[in-house]
Structure 1
Amino acid sequence: MSKSAIFKRQPLKAGAISWQLAQTFWVGGLWLLHFVLLPALGEMGLAPLLIEEVAGTLGPLLVGLAAFCAFLQLLVLLQAERWSSLWRDMRGQLLVTILLMAASYFAVHEWMPEAVRWLLFNYLVLALCGLLLVLQPVPGGEGGRARQARH
Structure 2
Amino acid sequence: MLWQLAQMLWVGGVWLLHIGILPALGLIGLAPLLIDEIDGFLSVLLVSFAAACVTLQVLVLIKAEGMESLWRDIRGQLLLMALYACAMFCGVHIWLPEALRWQLFSYLVLGFAGLVLVMQPAPGWSGGAREARP
TM-score normalized by structure 1?
0.82
Q: Which residue of 2 aligns with 1:34?
A: 18
Matches within 5 A, 1:66-145: 66-143=50-127
Q: CA deviation digits over 1:59-85, x for unaligned, max 9?
A: 000000110000000000001112223
Counterpart amino acid of residue 57 in structure 1? F
State which of 19, 43, 53 in structure 1 corresponds to 2:3: 19
More moved, 56-65 vs 80-89 = 80-89
Question: Offset at 1:32?
Answer: 0.5
The total of aligned residue pairs comes to 131
Verify the 8 A CA contact 1:138 1:144 in the aligned structure 2: no
Q: Distance in 2 between matches of 1:62 and 1:70?
A: 12
Q: Distance in 2 between matches of 1:128 and 1:141?
A: 22
Q: % of aligned pairs identical?
A: 59
Q: Matched residue of 2:63: which SS?
A: helix
Q: Which residue of 2 aligns with 1:4?
A: none
Q: Distance in 1 between matches of 2:26 and 2:39?
A: 12
Q: Distance in 2 between matches of 1:56 and 1:85?
A: 35
Q: Distance in 1 between matches of 2:15 and 2:78?
A: 17
- The runs of at least 4 aligned residues of structure 1 exceeding 6 Å deviation read none
Higher relative contact order (CA 8 A, sep 6+): 1
Verify the 8 A CA contact 2:61 2:69 in the aligned structure 1: no
Give ranges in structure 1 of 5+ residues lacking alignment. 1-16
What's the C-alpha RMSD, in Å, of the aligned pairs?
A: 1.7
TM-score normalized by structure 2?
0.92
Give ranges in structure 2 of 5+ residues lacking alignment. none
Q: Matched residue of 1:143: which SS?
A: coil
